[in-house]
A and B are shown apart, each in its own frame.
Chain A
Amino acid sequence: METVAVIRFDGDFRSTCDRAISAIGGFTVGKDETLVIKPNLGDLVPSEGGVTTSVELVRAVVRYFRLQSSHPRIVVVESDHPAASADESFRRHGFEDMATELDIELVNLSREKSILVEINGHYLQKLTVPLIMLECDKFISIAKLKTHAAERISCVLKNQFGMIVQRNRRRYHPYMRQVLADLSELYPPDLCIVDGVVGLEGPGPTFGTPIDTNIVVCGRNNIAVDIVSAYLMGFPARSVPALEFSMDKGLTSIRSIDDVNLVGDKIQPFDFAFIPRFSWWLIRMALANERIARFVDQLLTQVSSMELSLSSLLYNASKAGPRRCMSYLYSKLEHAIENSR
């Protein structure tokens, strides 16, 4: 059973962080290992606004690692996002000062040298992977406890979205569940921390309302940590599309909060406000609509690129005979779908 710790923030990031990691059995850092930390800096709103990961929490985590091993290489990564470049985010959120102080590296994934990797995943067929991720021995995701109008919550799984290096990631939004599952398999975190010192409720991930939740969630399994985070926000695990997808596809054996060994402080779930149910369904329908529109668009492109007009398709189908007509059309459709992926 996966262990997840929920720790009350006592006003000191360092002691809270130490207690959280110790509660899950500690975290070993080997000699000369490269540790990559991915905070959520997907906006310029400071951590007090409930949108981005607190630099103080990252600082506390780095100090914890430094105590485990004398010279691990610690790299904090983030990619450019529509609001600003990662470099700008690092500067504005105080990561540059921390990097100088603690002798760690900051890497803008969008500018890092990269390679193209074949994935054949649930949605992604190939992905640009920054070279730093090839050097990574242990990957640490430090996300934020916040709602997401389209994905219900934005915690550890959603933090992985920033591992896509392209600045404009909008085109992946309709396929978020699949993309997050792919990224989760590609970059499995060894340590997941959710910064819930200030959470965000309402229409997240940017325009919600900050809420003083004063907690830190910590675990080794990203899905377990997200299930606990959803529970703390007052959402059932299956109401989060990315978690539902992982469960349905058998990517995890954890089905609910009952399958997680909760340790740490006794904290009652918060009842996070969310967008009205009607708005939620409207957004989900809009995303589904976009998927359909893209599918039809790809299908038409495919058909035209195959120089296969509808009339010739029907002519060939009719030539196939009444019995084989449907199977012929089905095979053509299947071929078109396969090629459009």
Chain B
Amino acid sequence: MQKLNVAIIGCGNVAEYYHLPALTRIPNIVVKAVVDKDQTRIAKAKQRFPICLKDAKAYDDHRPVLSTKEIDAVLILTPPSLHAPIAIECIKSNKHIFCEKPLALSSAEAIKIADELEGTALTFMVGFNYRFMPHFQFVKRFLDEGRIGDIVTASTRFLTRLDESATFQRRRALGGGVLFEMACHHIDVLKWIFGPVKAVQGMARNRKFQEADDNVFVLLEFCKGVLASVHASWTSARFVNRVDIFGDKGMLGADLQTSHVETWIAKKMFFRKGPRTILVGSVLESYANELRAFAEAVLKNKESPLSIGDALDSLRIVERFYVSSELGCKEAV
């Protein structure tokens, strides 16, 4: 079995809760180094995930890791403000990159990464894990098969109360804000399903946060003619994470709190009593799926399943949204 030696840069919550548990299930990705300024985090992670971190050396700076020839690829799991500088250094050191979303603080920063990447044979993948969720894999397959007819509209909701311990999420300048940091997943998944976005319009408000939007309504118009709304809040008592897609023959509703996709197809015998609940896999599978896809792209020299262009498009949409929110008008993307 071909193996991919990686270094993890950033050993915070995202690594601890999602990527490290996923890596324990992927034998062909070997973690050779873990970087974090806080060494206690690394020690804690090593204790919790001895299977995937048994060969990993601890570092407090990423530069010595990048000069190590043994490392093939880097997983950048730091806060968004550090993504671009680290990614550029990784490209210069000829390392394949998996970078958590959002790719950078602005499209200008993302373009710098793209420029650096151009002409290299490196694989660059952005961690929009929703595309790898069993829910959306199922939804995409169903839509591609035309089971709910022509898509008319879509509506997504991401509502929760942001954890008190969250830091950069509360500051737009550090890559926070409910749309930029969280609801960008919904925008990406809609873009993946419906194709390029033509225009965006919406409103962003700071209800509780001082330095970032905590409630947003986004309206998206896709080139195919589909209209979609994205509603996100970080000040809701109730957690809702749901994507509903309506076609002229039926509907699909992916509920990310559960492992369900609600499905209904008009006139069909199986749906006469209303929508049926289809059981798909767990949300956490998406992290393992995306890392597997990354490893396969690097090892088999395939195209990245989620390129820098995809992430750049999402960033541009979010930026146009903020302009729309300030000016109160529709913005072309």
- B278 near A190 with CB under 8 A, answer no
Q: Give the chain B neighbours of A133 by CB distance below 8 A.
A: 269-270
Chain A: minimal CB distance from B86 (Å): 41
Tell me if B278 and A116 are in contact (CB < 8 A). Answer: yes
- B:217-265 near A, CB below 8 Å: 260, 263, 265
- Chain A positions within 8 Å of B267 at CB level: 137
A117 at the interface (CB under 8 A from B): yes
Point out the residues of chain B lying under 8 angstroms from A190, CB to CB.
Answer: 269
Contact B265 A134 (CB under 8 A): yes
26 A-B residue pairs with Cβ-Cβ distance under 8 Å, sorted by A, are: A115-B138, A115-B279, A116-B280, A117-B277, A117-B278, A117-B279, A118-B260, A118-B276, A118-B277, A118-B278, A118-B279, A126-B279, A133-B269, A134-B147, A134-B268, A134-B271, A136-B268, A137-B268, A137-B269, A138-B269, A139-B269, A185-B273, A187-B269, A187-B270, A188-B269, A190-B269
Most chain B C-beta atoms within 10 Å of own C-beta, residue among A115, A117, A136, A139:
A115
B269 touches A117 (CB 8 A): no
Residue numbers in B under 8 Å from A115 (CB-CB): 138, 278-279
Chain A residues lying within 8 Å of B273, measured Cβ to Cβ, are: 185
Complex CA–CA separation, A132 to B56 (angstroms): 49
Cα separation A311 to B152 with both chains bound (whole Å): 61
State the CA gap A185–B270 with chains docked (Å). 9
Residues of B close to A186: CB separation below 8 A:
270
- Point out the residues of chain B lying under 8 angstroms from A134, CB to CB: 147, 263, 265, 268, 270-271
Q: How far is the CA of A133 from the CA of B268 in the complex (A)?
A: 9
CB within 8 Å of B: which of A72-109?
Answer: none
CA distance A126 to B277 in the complex (A): 10
* Residues of chain A having any CB pair with chain B under 8 Å: 36, 115-118, 126, 129, 133-139, 185-188, 190
Closest to B278 in A: A115
In addition to A115-B278, A136-B268, A136-B270, 10 A-B residue pairs with Cβ atoms within 8 Å of each other are A118-B276, A133-B270, A134-B263, A134-B265, A134-B270, A136-B269, A137-B268, A137-B269, A139-B269, A187-B269
CB neighbours (8 Å) of B269 from chain A are 36, 133, 136-139, 187-188, 190
Q: Which residue of B lies closest to A186 (CB)?
A: B270
Q: How many A-B residue pairs have CB under 8 A?
A: 43
Given the known interface contacts A134-B265, A137-B267, the answer about A116 and B279 at a Cβ–Cβ threshold of 8 Å is yes
The interface residues of chain B lying within 8 Å CB-to-CB of A188 are 269, 272
Using an 8 Å CB-CB cutoff, how does the interface string of B141-174 with A read, 1 for contact, 0 for none?
0000001000000000000000000000000000
Closest B residue to A135 by beta carbon equals B268
Q: Which residue of A lies closest to B281 (CB)?
A: A116
In the complex, which residues of chain A have a beta carbon less than 8 angstroms from the beta carbon of B276? 117-118
Q: How far does the alpha carbon of A251 sit from the alpha carbon of B42 in the complex, in Å?
A: 60
Separation of A118 and B280 alpha carbons in the complex (Å): 10
Contacts of A138 in B (CB 8 A): 269
B272 to chain A, nearest CB (A): 7
